[in-house]
Amino acid sequence: MFLHRQMLPVGLLTVAIVGLIWPEPGRAMALLPTQYVAVSIIFLCSGLLLRTQEIRHAASAWPATLWGMTSILFITPAVGVAVALHAPLEDSFRLGLAIFCCMPTTLSSGIALTSQAKGNTALALLLTVSTNLLGVFTIPFVLAIALGAVGSITLSAESLLVKLCLTILLPLIAGRLLRLRLGDWADARRSNITVVSNLALISVPWMKFSQSSDRLAAVAPDQLLMLVGAGLVIHVLYLVLNGGATRLFGFSVPVRKAVVMMASQKTLPVALTVLALIPDEVLSAQSKGLVAIPCITSHLGQIFVDAFLATRWSTMDHESDGRT
């Protein structure tokens, strides 16, 4: 069913429209600790669905793992933030792009696309787990440096680290521990659990859009088009950077596919979590809706580009197999 398969992009577009047209319910929900509950649900579900048995099969690809982790946590944030802060966009959009660029790799879509591309899914899983766990500890400091480059925003890395541990790390560990007892139950209901996770994720930008509806309505269409273009430019730079590095290092084709796909993507749930955890005295609640837009457009853009890339890679492999 189309809506079930495309729930996240359709849901994100829907809440953007609803938040603009009818902001009162979202604003009311934002006054409650709803966003923290939603974030905890997202990562509890992620831990519950996380299959880690295959990770040991990726141990032999440690050079690729090392490059992938370094690229995800340090190199791509530096490149992306440098481009974002010089993009011809308003300050809130540049800030949103910079925040998104500092995130670890995607939680699920990257693995699915790597599998579609016939890449090394075990390595993709290893990069997902390792960078999202390590990212809890690196993001606050990388982000503090990036936001400091803006000039007007000072962020306490230590305070954000504590909040990320409570809202991401603990629920993720709790979900993983639950999986030890409920693994078969969770696998049998994977689709339903994914729906719950997606609904929780969609609720966060709904509240942000609702809080910022007045400012969002004043955004010019050409700024939105330039924002989408900037996000695509950054993602293509990531693909070229990681593609060139994996060729230079001589990785095998399945390993290259996994590294390029995973090291070129950024995760939306963690980006929205970080945005929600930034204190209002640092970034006002009204501004957070504008800052969330680049995170969402960049996420959707990378999925569409990489879905095309994965299909192309898969087709090339199929054609190659047909010639042998």
Residues contacting 272, CB < 8 A, separation 6+:
39, 201, 204, 205, 208, 292, 295
Percent above pLDDT 70 for the chain: 90
Give me the amino acid identity at 43: F
Determine the pLDDT at residue 176: 87
Confidence check: pLDDT of 319 > 60: no
Q: What is the pLDDT of residues 198-229, one digit of tens each?
A: 888 788 888 877 877 777 777 778 888 999 99
**Banded model confidence at residue 149, pLDDT cuts 50, 70, 90:** low
- CA 144 to chain centroid, in Å, comes to 18
Separation between Cα atoms, residue 322 and residue 324, nearest integer Å? 6
Determine the pLDDT at residue 153: 61
| Stretch 261-286: mean pLDDT | 84
Q: What is the pLDDT of residues 40-67, one digit of tens each?
A: 888 888 888 877 665 666 667 789 999 9
Angle value at C-alpha 8, between 316 and 308, nearest 5 degrees: 15
Separation between Cα atoms, residue 155 and residue 141, nearest integer Å? 9
Sign of CA dihedral 301, 305, 308, 314: negative
Q: What is the pLDDT of residues 177-200, one digit of tens each?
A: 999 888 899 989 888 888 888 888
- For residue 276 the two structure tokens come to 């929600």
pTM score of the predicted model: 0.81
The domain ranges of the chain are: 2-318
Q: Is the CB of residue 224 less than 8 Å from the CB of residue 92?
A: no
- Which of 69-78, 88-97, 108-117 has the least mean pLDDT? 108-117
User: First CA to last CA across the chain, in angstroms?
Assistant: 36
- Which of 2-6, 162-166, 244-248 has the least mean pLDDT? 2-6
Greater model confidence, 230 or 199: 230
DSSP state of 72: I
Determine the pLDDT at residue 59: 65
Determine the pLDDT at residue 240: 97
**Banded model confidence at residue 324, pLDDT cuts 50, 70, 90:** very low
Determine the pLDDT at residue 207: 84
Separation between Cα atoms, residue 64 and residue 84, nearest integer Å? 27
Separation between Cα atoms, residue 168 and residue 41, nearest integer Å? 9
Phi and psi for 90 in degrees, rounded to 5? Answer: -70, 160
Angle value at C-alpha 298, between 32 and 175, nearest 5 degrees: 50
Most confident of 79-88, 116-125, 272-281: 79-88
* Helices 268-277 + 121-150 axis angle, to 10: 30
Taking the domain 2-318, which CATH number applies?
1.20.1530.20
Separation between Cα atoms, residue 300 and residue 63, nearest integer Å? 30
Separation between Cα atoms, residue 295 and residue 302, nearest integer Å? 11
Determine the pLDDT at residue 71: 97
Q: Is the CB of residue 147 less than 8 Å from the CB of residue 95?
A: yes
DSSP state of 56: G
Percent above pLDDT 90 for the chain: 26
Please state the three-class secondary structure of 220-266 as a single string: CHHHHHHHHHHHHHHHHHHHHHHHHHHHHHCCCHHHHHHHHHHHCCC
Determine the pLDDT at residue 79: 94
| Stretch 145-156: mean pLDDT | 66
For 41-105, the DSSP string reads HHHHHHHHH---GGGGGGGGGHHHHHHHHHIIIIIHHHHHHHHHTTSSS-HHHHHHHHHHHTS--
Greater model confidence, 316 or 318: 316
